[in-house]
Structure 1
Amino acid sequence: MIRHLVLFRLNEGVERDDPRVVAGVKAFEELEGRIPELRAWECGWNISDRPIAYDFAINSAVEDPEALTRYLEHPAHRAAAGLWREFATWVIADYPF
């Protein structure tokens, strides 16, 4: 199995209630159950107020590297990630577990 973690930081001046952010969160929430490769799916707002904290996180799992590629290339994933490009930056980590 491979864990796929993504941490998002909203761009300067962008708030959680921005309509673009609301649409982006909804798009990620709706991925659960839509992409067959996903074995686990969680996403949500960070509750920490530490200065190094990111704002939003995705924690997911897929079977193998090929499944990760299919997930990343899935049209629903591409559409959701495309929304976030407008208002956030992110970092990822993919590791076996």
Structure 2
Amino acid sequence: MIRHLVLFKLNEGVARDEPRVVAGGKAFAELGALVPEVVSWECGWNVSDRPIAYDFAINSSVEDTDALRRYVEHPAHQAAVAPWTEFATWVIADYEI
């Protein structure tokens, strides 16, 4: 099993309540159910106000590295990620559990 973690940081001057950001969060909230390879899916906005905190997180899992590749290449994943390139940066970690 592979854990797929993603942490998003909104770009300077971008607010969570902007329509494009709200739509981006909604797209990720729905994504887990759209990709067959996803075994578990959680995502949400950070509730901490610490300066080092990221703004949005995805915590998901897939069966193996092949499933992870299919997830990343899935059209629903590509569509959900694309808008975020305009208003955020992110880091990922994929590890075996």
Tell me, in whole angstroms, the C-alpha distance in 1 between the residues paired with 2:33 and 2:88.
25
Given the alignment of the two structures, is residue 65 of structure 1 paired with residue 65 of structure 2, yes or no?
Answer: yes
Given the alignment of the two structures, is residue 80 of structure 1 paired with residue 80 of structure 2, yes or no?
Answer: yes
Q: Deviations over 1:40-91 (max 9, x none)?
A: 0000001111111000000000000000000000001001110110100000
Secondary structure of 1:85's partner?
helix
| Equivalent in the alignment of 1:2 | 2
Q: Which runs of 5+ in 2 are unaligned?
A: none
* TM-score in terms of structure 2 length: 0.98
Give the CA RMSD over aligned residues: 0.5
Amino acid at match of 1:31: L
* TM-score in terms of structure 1 length: 0.98
Amino acid at match of 1:22: V
Tell me, in whole angstroms, the C-alpha distance in 2 between the residues paired with 1:91 and 1:43.
14
After the TM superposition, list the runs of 4 or more consecutive aligned residues in structure 1 that deviate by more than 2 angstroms. Answer: none
Q: How many residues were matched structurally?
A: 97
Q: Percent same amino acid among aligned pairs? A: 74
- The structure in which a higher percent of residues are helix is 2
